[in-house]
Structure 1
Amino acid sequence: MSSERAPSLRTGKARLDRETIIAAALELASAPGVTTISFRELGGHLGVDPTAVYRHFRSKDELMRALLDHLALLGIDEIEVPPEQWRERLRALGLATLRQFERYPAIGVEAVVLTTNGPGEHRAIELMLDGFTRAGLSGDDLVRHYALLAAHILSTASNIARARADRGEAAGGLWLDAPILVDPREYPLVAAHIPLLSEIRDEEIFLAGVDMILDSAERTAARHP
């Protein structure tokens, strides 16, 4: 990565700490076209030898966990819906997560393989459990719906953000990134639905998945009043 991707955050003689490194990594991750972050690139951006970064983060996984947890905190801080409006609040969490991953796709892509076990993740889990508790769920039903929502939000938001970064698209992109060309004799249903398939937007699918999980929570709670 060249220094042209983002303005360099030079530390000079200032003390290098975890907060400074995280700020620099966010600068790198927000630059157009950046889909990965390496310690070499991060060191160059900070104006230090990459080994200096290793003194604060022992591995790339440790760094990415810290960055993911930071994004979780940023997303939660964006939510203005009160806890009493549990459905709208959980929907807002999904959208806030998607927005953060869109801003920093090089970080968001790691959400499919890493858990942070940090305060951001813990706050997100608490928020989801609180929402589904207010919906009327408890026990196994509560935990399963939390897991469904968390998996959908993290994996789908990560994939959308990465795909948009790869294609250089803004928010609201198409779900399918190329025209569908099939032989209608072999794939009659695909051919018959090409116009509708070609109009699907990725954010619509993301929110549809969130809503289906929330609908399931309401139905499950209604069966166990």
Structure 2
Amino acid sequence: MTTATGSAKGRTPRASAGRARLDRDSIVAAGLELAATSATSTISVRELGAHLGADPTAIYRHFRSKEQLMEALLDELTQRSVASVTADPSDWRERLRQLAASTLAYYTAHPAIGAEAIVLTTHGPGELDAIEIMLEAFSTAGLSGDDVVRHYALLASHVLSSAAGIARARGERGDAPMTGPWFDGPILADPRTHPRIASFSAELADLQDRDLFSLGVEAVIQSAERTLRRQVE
């Protein structure tokens, strides 16, 4: 099967290319490039048309709606995240860590696309491959039945929602580091009414979204290990 990943390599869409013939792969390639270079939390069809040097309405000949376009862009990022998983299948923990880390990296590098992961389901090859990796990993760990599915759902929901949230925050901040503090600023609270907040204010201010993202991944892995130990006891 020809995917956008393979066909998009080496292409650099430019408005100066004129009104060249468009296809799904060239539109996806241009959308990824625009999302990686534009300091914005959204992509408009008008901007994408200008980037391609084409009438924006031409994009709708290949995608029925903007939602379908965003699904294709998101699934392409997922395909790239899956391709970054190189650990041996027997090392199920590292495969899950690699998938999570690459998902966060691609989402934050393309915030206008990554932010959509919290609301879009692509049903594309990238999404299917990512689900397969997670189910395979937890099966390789020794889990079975509902335990496999529950841990897949836990990991998927954490990775998608957290990575999408971090991507959205980066898009709203514009030209900012890939990740940053969990809170936008210090938490100002009256110690008389919120003594715990006042007591932990420094620690709360030190929280970093990437660290919390990784901590959540490790928590799911540890949960799988505990579940397996209970099964064999």
TM-score over 0.5 (shorter chain): yes
Equivalence for 1:219: 226
What is the Cα deviation at residue 10 of structure 1?
Answer: 4.3
Tell whether the 8 Å contact from 1:28 to 1:34 is kept in structure 2 after alignment: no
- TM-score norm. by structure 1 comes to 0.93
Tell whether the 8 Å contact from 1:108 to 1:161 is kept in structure 2 after alignment: yes
Equivalence for 2:192: 185
Quote the RMSD (CA, aligned, Å).
Answer: 1.5
Which consecutive unaligned segments of at least 5 residues does structure 1 have? 1-5
Tell whether the 8 Å contact from 1:156 to 1:206 is kept in structure 2 after alignment: yes
Tell whether the 8 Å contact from 1:9 to 1:24 is kept in structure 2 after alignment: no
Task: Give the counterpart of 1:54 among 38, 49, 60.
Answer: 60
Equivalence for 2:4: none
Q: Kindly, what percent of the aligned residue pairs are identical?
A: 55
Equivalence for 2:107: 101
Q: Deviations over 1:181-219 (max 9, x none)?
A: 110001000000001111111111001111111111111
Task: Give the counterpart of 2:203 among 196, 202, 205.
Answer: 196
Equivalence for 2:158: 152
Equivalence for 2:183: 176
Which consecutive unaligned segments of at least 5 residues does structure 2 have? 1-11
What is the Cα deviation at residue 8 of structure 1?
Answer: 3.2
Equivalence for 1:165: 171
| Number of residue pairs aligned between Structure 1 and Structure 2 | 220
- When residues 48 and 139 of structure 1 are mapped into structure 2, their CA distance, relative to the original with a 3 A threshold, is same
Q: Deviations over 1:47-97 (max 9, x none)?
A: 111110000001011101111110011111122221111011101111000
Regions of 4+ moved over 4 Å: none
Tell whether the 8 Å contact from 2:189 to 2:198 is kept in structure 1 after alignment: yes
Task: Give the counterpart of 1:23 among 29, 38, 60.
Answer: 29
